[in-house]
Amino acid sequence: MDSTWDADVDAAYIDLSGDCTDPALKQVVVDTGSDEYEVILDFSAAGRLLGVEVIGAAAALDPGLLQALRRIDATPEAS
């Protein structure tokens, strides 16, 4: 599993696929009731939950979780 955070666009992806190699064929937008962030669930053709994408991650996720994710943006903060 490889979960990431791109601070440049404030998007995180929590990979739940494990060893599954099925591609994500269906995306479901979750009604969070928030205007600050959006949550999208990725499912395989077999209905397996593969991952969770969070747009507006800084508003939605705990800062400690964001720091634990692998940074993929161009300007990572200094440690």
CA 32, 34, 35, 37 torsion-angle sign: negative
Q: Does 75 reside within a domain?
A: no
Q: Supply the range of the domain harboring residue 42.
A: 4-70
Q: What is the pLDDT of residue 23?
A: 86
Strand 70-71 relative to strand 4-6, pairing: parallel
Supply the pLDDT for residue 2. 85
Q: What's the pLDDT tens digit per position in 32-63?
A: 999 999 999 999 998 999 999 999 999 999 99
In a domain, residue 76? The reply is: no
Q: Which residues contact 23 (CB under 8 A, 6 or more apart)?
A: 44, 45
The tally of domains found in the chain comes to 1
